Structure 1
Amino acid sequence: MSEAVREAPKKERPEFRNIHVTELSNYRMPLAAIVSILHRISGFMMFALLPFVLYLLEQSLRSEISFAYYQGIVSYPLVKLIILALVWGYMHHFCAGVRHLVMDAHIGLDKDSARKSSATVLVISLALTAVVALKLFGVF
């Protein structure tokens, strides 16, 4: 072999490691990853609370007295915040689900389009939640 081939400098290859839980604060996820994680969290939140929400619906439809009772409970600000969290979960899950359906049709798969669509999902879901919050807290 020639001397030039033997003496060629070796390039340092980057080392890819698994991320430990303690390193999560140093890692910056892209916006699409954040939207995907929030989509999973909102889906789990709706699934876990579905029996409780259906029970409350059944109890409120039982009679006029029970409806008035639950109407009184919903007037507390803490309960309104819990309802608002459920509304955000639904709005975000719906908007992110539409985004995933569009991506399943192979539309918007490149990096720039994915970033824009994830930002759009966040803006639309938060705007719809803000509209519901204004109505829920009696602004209009």
Structure 2
Amino acid sequence: MKFLRVRLRACDALPRDALAHLGFKIEGDRVRHVVLTPRGPVTVSKKCDECIFYKLISGSYVYGAPSIHNGVIKVVVADTRPARRILAEHRQQVISVERLRPASLVLTSKQREVLSAMASGGSISLIARASSRSKVAVYKLFRKTLKKVVELI
């Protein structure tokens, strides 16, 4: 499966000082987004047929949670025909579309192993000794793993 990283302009209903997207809920014909602002969580309501995020969810697979940085919404979606159609219809809201390789989103077994060992209280040195690798190799693997995890979040 192929994925697209999409950067969208925030809709008018979204507060300009939004820092993060905390979640959403669909109630009847409305989508309620919960976003974090400096003044605390704020709920934004929009009709489903006006919400590009809702259209992407219903027309394609959304990978991970969307994030908001400086008024730009970043979301990763499966590269499907419906997703491309939705993005073409809402061209004025789309800032950029970038193709991602699946390997850039999925953790390898070595990466899961290193992440698990670090989460269990291990250090780079201990993991390197246990896996018969150099500290530099384990450090690079851990750094790449963290970049993927951040991308997923």
| Range of TM-score over shorter length | under 0.3
The TM-score with structure 2 as length reference comes to 0.24
The TM-score with structure 1 as length reference comes to 0.26
Instruction: Select the structure that is richer in strand.
Output: 2
Higher relative contact order (CA 8 A, sep 6+): 1
Instruction: Select the structure that is richer in helix.
Output: 1
